[in-house]
Amino acid sequence: MHVYVSESSLIGDSIQLTPAVDQDAGSNNIMKYMIEPQFPEFQLEWTSLDRDATMANNQFSGDIQSSDIQSYSDHFIRSPPGPRHELRLIVRSLLDRETKSLYEFNLTAIDGGSPSRNTTIKLQVHVTDFNDNSPIFEKDTYTVDLHENARPHTPVIQVINFRMPIKLLF
């Protein structure tokens, strides 16, 4: 799954994710999600659409033991009350595309069956650019010769910066 977030996103902004679907009912349905690795920039949130209940990385630690998953302790979000849910990735710190443009996660949905079953997908969060850097030119000074009969809007010089070519027009 690929999602995109602007580096100008504010803390608390969120990206809606497509939740997993489990045809089982009741306690055999999806009971928790796990996201690995943990990055301080993001937090997983699973919200009930039927009530005002939210389970945001409630830091539940526990051991899962099944034939599908090795025994381990990690951070989970537990199932919120109600039958309809929304899964979101919340921005928890400022993003900088020039520092890190891609975050890669494993997102795992785990059901409550016995034995427990799970499925994992790759989640890639692409940080998109926000024009927050000024262009840098190769030289401090440029000199050009301009003919006196040059027509308006005739390209005079092409200056390249590290972001994109710029043509200055006369």
**Residue extents of the structural domains in the chain:** 2-128, 134-170
Residues ≥6 apart with Cβ < 8 Å to 34? 74, 75, 76, 107, 108, 110
Can you tell me whether residue 91 is helix, strand or coil? strand
Indicate the pTM of the whole model: 0.61
Fold that domain 2-128 belongs to in CATH: Immunoglobulin-like (2.60.40)
pLDDT by residue, tens only, the chain of 170 residues: 899 999 999 999 999 988 887 777 777 777 788 889 989 999 998 876 654 444 444 333 333 333 333 333 334 455 454 556 788 999 999 999 989 999 999 999 888 888 888 889 999 999 998 876 666 777 778 888 888 898 888 888 877 665 544 444 54
Query: Is-contact 69 62, C-beta < 8 A?
Result: no
State how far the Cα of 47 lies from the Cα of 78, in Å rounded to an integer: 10
